[in-house]
Amino acid sequence: MSLRILVANANTTAAVTEICAAAARTAASPGTEIVAATPRFGPAIIASRVENAIAGHAILDCLAEHHEGCDAAVLAVSYDTALAAARQLLPIPVVGMTEAACLAACMLGGRFGLVTFSSAGLYRELIASYGLSSRLSGIGLVAASPYDAASDPAGVAAKVAEAARGLARDGADAVILGGAALAGMGGRIQAEVPVPLVDGIAAGVRLAEALVGLGVRRPRAGSYAAPTGRASVGLGGALERLLRG
C-alpha cells in the first residue's frame, strides 16, 4: 500500500525538520512517502509554556496548509503540541511523537524512562495527561540543546547514551528519546544502552501507517468531530477554510 505521511515540525528551525524527515524516511515502510513541513511563523525552539502555546497555532496552520493529499500526519514536536486540536481539525489520523513513543515503550516492559534536553515538568504533565505517570520511571536531562544535536551529533549522542544508561540502572525497561532533535539517534547508540531505545518519530510513523491500514474513520459526533464553522479573524487561509468546514 502506497501512503503519504505528513511530518510536521512545530518550530521554525528547518534543521530540526530535516532531522525528523530523515528519521521518518528511515522508519517508513517501503512505498510510504514522507512529506516534511515547517511552520511559517512561531518560535525557533520550544522550551517554555508560552512558546508551546504559540507553536500550537503555528502547527495547526502548518497542518492545514500541507495535509491535502496525505493519508496521516505525525507531529514532529516532543510536547505533542496541539495534538487534540489537530485531531479535531484534520480529516486524517494525527499521531503525536511522544504519545506514540510512550505507547510503544509500554509494550516493551513495565516502566520507561525519558531522555531530553530540558523542561522535565512539561514532559511529566504530558505523560500524566496520557494516564501513564505510573509507568514513567524517571526523566534524564542532558547538558545540551537541540542546536547542539544538529551541530555536534556525536557529542550529544554520547551524553544521551550516558543518561539512558542511568535510567536503565534506575529501573527503566525502555527509554524514550524525548525531543524532535534526537530523532534517528537511537540507532547510533543502541549498542551502548542495555534496554530498548524508542524513537518518537519512528514510532509515530509506524503507528500512523497502522491507523491508515486499520481504515479508521473520522468521528462525526463527540468532542473530536469536525469544527462547527464559527468565524475567526486573521487566520491563514487554509486554516480558516478547515475551521469553516
Q: Is 23 left (phi over 0), alpha (psi -120 to 50) or beta?
A: alpha
Same fold, 3-98+203-244 and 108-198: yes
Return the domain boundaries, the chain: 3-98+203-244, 108-198
131, 133, 129: which is closest to 114 by C-alpha?
133
| Fold of the domain spanning 108-198 | Rossmann fold (3.40.50)
Tell me the per-residue pLDDT of 145-192, one tens digit each, with 9 for 90 and over. 888 888 899 999 999 999 999 999 999 999 999 989 999 999 999 999
CA distance 140 to 170: 11
Grid cell 525538520 — which residue?
17
Summary mean pLDDT of the chain: 95
According to DSSP, residue 108 is labeled: T
8 A C-beta contact, residue 94 and residue 83: yes
Residue 1 vs residue 61, higher pLDDT: 61
HSE-CB at 62 with a 13 A cutoff on CA atoms is: 30
pLDDT value of position 75: 98
Quickly state the pLDDT bin for 46 (edges 50, 70, 90): very high
Tell me the per-residue pLDDT of 113-152, one tens digit each, with 9 for 90 and over. 999 998 899 999 999 999 999 999 999 999 998 888 888 9
pLDDT value of position 47: 87
In the predicted structure, residue 1 carries a pLDDT above the cut 70: no
Q: pTM of the prediction?
A: 0.94
8 A C-beta contact, residue 179 and residue 23: no
First to last CA, the chain: 29
Tell me the per-residue pLDDT of 193-214, one tens digit each, with 9 for 90 and over. 999 999 999 999 999 999 999 9
State whether residue 146 is helix, strand or coil: helix
CA distance 27 to 50: 32
Tell me the per-residue pLDDT of 223-241, one tens digit each, with 9 for 90 and over. 999 988 778 899 999 999 9
State whether residue 134 is helix, strand or coil: helix
pLDDT value of position 145: 87
* Domain covering 3-98+203-244: architecture: 3-Layer(aba) Sandwich (3.40)
